[in-house]
Amino acid sequence: MSGMLSSFMDRVFYGRGKLFENKVAAGVVSCRRGGATAAFDEINKYFLMTNMIVVGSQYWNMVHGSKKEDVEQDEEGLQTMRTLGTNMAWLLKSIDAGRKQGIELPKKEEVIRTNFVR
């Protein structure tokens, strides 16, 4: 992931874990050719370490192309994005239906920090 995005994500997520708990998220990347999976992994780590619910698709959430016209020709990538949108909509509706039925969010334990430096 670019240094600019890394810096942004560090600032947004640092010390704000409770703000993002139980929110639905999906990392999406676009690249010319390589580096997408590494960026995708890095983005998702922010979501996972703050108890977010990460939505998946049929493949990694990425499209390829240097410009819009290139991306529009990435049929597999576009299908992956459509599937991601369908999955996210279903999950949000399911969460809402559960909330209306009185299903409570999971109870959180107090965070334990282990210090291995002694």
What angle (nearest 5°) sits at the alpha carbon of residue 59, between those of residues 31 and 77? 45
pLDDT in tens, 34-53: 778 999 999 999 999 999 99
What is the predicted pLDDT for the residue at 59? 93
Got the DSSP string for 80-109? HHHHHHHHHHHHHHHHHHHHHTTPPPPPPP
pLDDT greater at residue 67 or residue 118: 67
What is the predicted pLDDT for the residue at 111? 84
pLDDT in tens, 78-112: 999 999 999 999 999 999 999 999 999 988 888 88
What is the predicted pLDDT for the residue at 21? 92
Contact 47, 27 (CB under 8 A): yes
